[in-house]
Amino acid sequence: MSVTHIMATFAAETATADVPQAVSERALALATDLIGSTIRAANEVDSTPSILAMLSRLGLDRGDECIVFGLNRRYPAAAAALLNGALGHSLDFDDTHADSSLHPSAPVVPAAFAAAELTRASGADLLAAIAIGFEICCRLGVALDPAVHYGRGFHPTATAGVFGAAAAAGRLLGLDAAKIAGAFGVAASQASGSLQFLANGAWNKRYQVGEAAMKGLMAATLADADFVGAVDAIDGKHGFLRAYSDGADPARAVENLGAEWETLRIGVKPYPACRYTHAAVDGILALQKRHAWAGGDIERVTVGLHGNGITLVGAPLAGKRRARSIVDGQFSMPFAAAVALTRGRFGWDDYDLLGHPEIDAIADRVEVVRDASLEGLRHPFGATLEIVARGESHRLRVPDPSGEPETFPSPADAAAKFHSLAGPVLNADTAAFLDTLRAVPAAPDVRALFLERQTF
């Protein structure tokens, strides 16, 4: 049996009741985390007006089927999936699956919400579909070999993400295994996402993830209309895994599928930047709290990262030291380090420091090097750290960043993050809206639940 068929069967035939409660609860927590970022991005991110203008000019905003969080209006289903995906990924504050080095919620959750509203699905079915979508894209990301996939210039959140989106949407549309395999066949032609955005701080990264959500929904809808998609689209001769990686291992995509849930291995970000910066920021904040350095005290900061991290946040170093756009800052280890040392924190509002002379001065003292001791491990997001300040050297090794499953945020911490992001937009409605999200598991009809709310 092909990997494509095994994954399609899992997506179609796993009963909602067979999704462990802990997995459904984690799916809700991760979806809520994404929605907080979506709400803030809808109102503050630089690329949002361009996307809205495009949809308007092409007539793609004419309809009110589905919710778009933070815009307080509804859009046609495809546009809603695109917007929720692009907005959810815009802050670079959304969750991360370490083994696949991708962000599963941004492509999967928006496609699932749109399909759930179209089909008047229950909250329990929505969360099961989200978890199934997570399993598909995370396992495909692992099977690709993230280092090879990144090395070829691909963005796995977008490329693998479209399959997760198709699985989640297809399940909610009631597709059987053959039709979900057909949706994968369409998704394989839609899988796209380039790392070239790193060259100039472009907005492609957030948009291509939104496209993955939209294309996954479209692939599932085509399959539902009996469109014939490519067979064995995941593991065939010219299938996704072979075409997008030189080191893919298809067996890893289905190993213990249904018995071990990758959803429980997804971590939440404490900082709005590439996950490869986080372990170092954790270490810097811990040392800064202990020593209370001023900017002038810092003589040198050396951050050791996995090779993937160097590709994304450490090279070319001269450019990374001069982050000027938000995307530049999101992918700059020197900027993240300088912010943490200057303010003793790193949140979305700290991007006001872009181009600040003090930040540039500290960034010039940050070295980013490849540390071979961080490679060959299960997780690639660790960091080693040396800070020389006031004539003394301080070393630290941070194996994993905070927010991973072992240090997953408590409900109170998760609520605090949601309020910090959604609060400036929803104001007094923030707590009530969070309560609405918490009511999703028991909702008999997700669309009806959100129609009751006039502010979102």
Q: Do residues 257 and 186 both lie within one domain?
A: yes
Q: How far is residue 402's CA from residue 410's CA, in Å, rounded to a whole number?
A: 12
The pTM of the full predicted model, rounded to 2 decimals, is 0.94
HEC sequence for 221-278: HHHHCCCCCCCCCCCCCCCHHHHHCCCCCHHHHHCCECCECHHHHEECCCCCCCHHHH
Residue 410 lies in a domain: no
Query: Are 445 and 369 in a shared domain?
Result: no
Asked whether 384 and 281 are in contact (CB, 8 A), the reply is no
In a domain, 231, yes or no: yes
- The whole-number pLDDT of residue 454 equals 65
Look at residue 416 and tell me if it is in a domain: no
Q: Based on the domain organization, do 244 and 323 belong to the same domain?
A: no
Distance CA 109, CA 90 (A): 15
Tell me: do 287 and 391 sit in the same domain.
Answer: yes
Question: Counting beta carbons within 10 angstroms of the beta carbon of residue 50, is it exposed (0 to 12), middle (13 to 18) or buried (19 or more)?
Answer: exposed
Q: What is the CATH number of the domain that holds 181?
A: 1.10.4100.10
pLDDT of residue 453: 77
The answer to whether residue 413 is domain-embedded is no
Do 343 and 200 belong together in one domain? no
Q: What pLDDT does residue 452 have?
A: 83
Q: Are residues 237 and 222 in the same domain?
A: yes
With vertex at residue 444, the alpha carbon angle to CA 439 and CA 447, rounded to the nearest 5 degrees, is 80
> Which SS3 state, helix, strand or coil, does residue 301 take?
strand
Same domain assignment for residues 239 and 317: no
Judge if 105 and 214 occupy the same domain. Answer: yes
Distance CA 282, CA 456 (A): 32
Q: What is the CATH number of the domain that holds 317?
A: 3.30.1330.120
Please give the Cα distance from 159 to 162 (Å, whole number). 6
Task: Provide the percentage of residues in the chain whose pLDDT is more than 90.
Answer: 96
Domain membership of residue 414 (yes or no) is no
Query: What is the model's pLDDT at position 378?
Result: 81
Side chain identity at 205, as an amino acid letter? K
* 138 and 92 inside one domain: yes
Residues 148, 255, single domain; the answer is yes
Q: Given this model, what pLDDT does residue 1 score?
A: 87
Which domain-ending residue is among 362, 381, 398? 398
Place of tokens 């035939």: 13
Q: How high is the mean pLDDT in each 10-residue block of the chain (456 residues)? A: 97 98 98 98 96 98 95 95 98 95 97 98 98 98 95 97 98 98 98 95 97 98 98 97 95 98 97 97 97 94 96 96 96 98 95 97 98 90 97 96 95 96 95 96 97 77
* DSSP alpha helix (H) spans, 91-160: 105-119, 123-144, 146-151, 156-159
Residue 456 lies in a domain: no
Angle at which helices 21-44 and 77-90 pack, to 10 degrees? 80
- The closest alpha carbon to 128, from 10, 25, 24, 35, belongs to 24
Residue 82 located in a structural domain = yes
Residues 83 and 226 in one domain: yes
Q: Mean pLDDT for the chain?
A: 96
Sheet holding 392-398, edge to edge: 366-370, 298-305, 383-389, 392-398
What total of structural domains would you count in the chain?
2
Q: What is the pLDDT of residues 158-183, one digit of tens each?
A: 999 999 999 999 999 999 999 999 99
Beta bridge partners of 370: 305
On whether both 284 and 346 belong to a single domain, the answer is: yes
pLDDT in tens, 242-278: 999 998 999 999 999 999 999 999 999 999 999 999 9
Neighbours of 46 (CB within 10 A): 12
Residue 257 lies in a domain: yes
User: Which domain, by its residues, includes 249?
Assistant: 3-268+426-451
Contact present, 198 and 323 (Cβ < 8 Å): no
d(CA 401, CA 184): 33
